[in-house]
Structure 1
């Protein structure tokens, strides 16, 4: 079994690398892929960069060059719902690209032309296993739609629009395109986001980034160690 982990921050991959054995690296399209093992599982980890194009480049190479069986994307996101605050976690049961819009052609907003889907489902077993790993660590999480776009969503108006249009619980800039690549390649995927903002809460970003990265990697390591459950 080979599991691909796509992170948003170098600290995430560095933390994962510390738990890996038999490490080697390869580079494709400017992205460094760290290969190794955790227990009896092969792992390929990479930092994709910001935005949908970089994320898609990373996911496509991970699938075609390293032949991963599963892809997990971790990172930071903004909350779109009252259930999620700072350091809580959003787990996607489906993803949507909120900035896809060919409505002048008569299409519904968010439609991915060519595959004719608005929402792409994550893998149910991966989603459940991530939830179990989060629950065991006492981390508050919520499952729902995660919305992706090439836009840093920062205003209440933008958040409300995306939430109401897609019933999304969180927004970010990579997961939907990684899901798109996995969908067309028929590779199961999961998306996890640590929330970086919330009502009445604030944290120094450097402190938040370090804590969020450590939290995500601990969950991912548990997930990898229990990954045989995906094939049960």
Structure 2
């Protein structure tokens, strides 16, 4: 099985290298993907860059060249709900764009790109298997909608604007919906695991710097353990 792990930031990618030894490196798009063998699976680790365009461009470049069976997205996110705190894990079951406002362009809802699904659902058997893995391990997580946009959210006003349109959104980040849109069009299952690094408010800058490495390590440890434990 060919599995791609995509992460936006170097701070989030470095932890995987603690567990695996790279066999070779190859460029897809503007991203260098490192190649590993784990439990009989071919694993591609790519640092895709920050934001929707970087995410979509580099994952598309990989999927157009390699028959990838599963994409795993890890990294950090900002909390949008009072009961979701720093270091919590979020297992998205859907992504939407919080900065897509196209309701006047036709029969569309907030977060929907014209002629695309309103939300990109993550409901594959592979994701369900990973969910059962977390439950077997006793790992606490929150499950629900995560929203994506090209801005780092760092004020209560920004959070309030997002929650007005997406009151059920658990967290906000900058790549997930783009990854999900690409995976949807390629027909490739996507598993996403985001760890909360900040509260998306005026302290987000300080919180993010302090916690992104810690939560990145937490997410990476779970993904690595899952891959080593399961021959997919």
Q: TM-score, normalised by structure 1?
A: 0.88
- Give 1:11 deviation, angstroms: 3.5
With 51-60 and 95-104 compared, the bigger mean Cα shift is at 95-104
Distance 1:39 1:186 in 2: 24
Question: Is 1:182 the equivalent of 2:180?
Answer: no
Distance 2:43 2:5 in 1: 7
Is the Cα contact below 8 Å between 1:8 and 1:75 reproduced in 2? yes
Secondary structure of the structure 2 residue equivalent to 1:82: coil
Residues 47-196 of structure 1: pairs in structure 2 closer than 5 A: 47-106=47-106, 107-115=108-116, 117-135=117-135, 138-166=138-166, 167-196=168-197
Is the Cα contact below 8 Å between 2:28 and 2:62 reproduced in 1? no
Distance 1:187 1:22 in 2: 24
Secondary structure of the structure 2 residue equivalent to 1:18: helix
Distance 2:173 2:100 in 1: 14
Distance 1:226 1:118 in 2: 35
Q: Considering only aligned residues, what root-mean-square deviation do their CA atoms show, in Å? A: 2.4
Gapped runs of 5+ residues in structure 2?
A: none
- Give 1:227 deviation, angstroms: 4.5
With 118-127 and 77-86 compared, the bigger mean Cα shift is at 118-127
Is the Cα contact below 8 Å between 1:100 and 1:110 reproduced in 2? yes
Residue 210 of structure 1 aligns with which residue? 213
With 101-110 and 195-204 compared, the bigger mean Cα shift is at 195-204
**Kindly tell me: are residues 119 and 160 of structure 1, through their superposed partners in 2, closer, same or farther at Cα, counting changes over 3 Å?**
same
Is the Cα contact below 8 Å between 1:99 and 1:148 reproduced in 2? yes
Runs of 4+ with >6 A deviation: 199-203
**Kindly tell me: are residues 81 and 53 of structure 1, through their superposed partners in 2, closer, same or farther at Cα, counting changes over 3 Å?**
same
Distance 2:200 2:5 in 1: 30
- Give 1:138 deviation, angstroms: 5.0
Secondary structure of the structure 1 residue equivalent to 2:198: coil
Distance 1:95 1:204 in 2: 24
Q: TM-score, normalised by structure 2?
A: 0.88
**Kindly tell me: are residues 181 and 42 of structure 1, through their superposed partners in 2, closer, same or farther at Cα, counting changes over 3 Å?**
same
Gapped runs of 5+ residues in structure 1?
A: none
- Give 1:43 deviation, angstroms: 0.5
- Give 1:29 deviation, angstroms: 2.7
Distance 2:208 2:97 in 1: 26
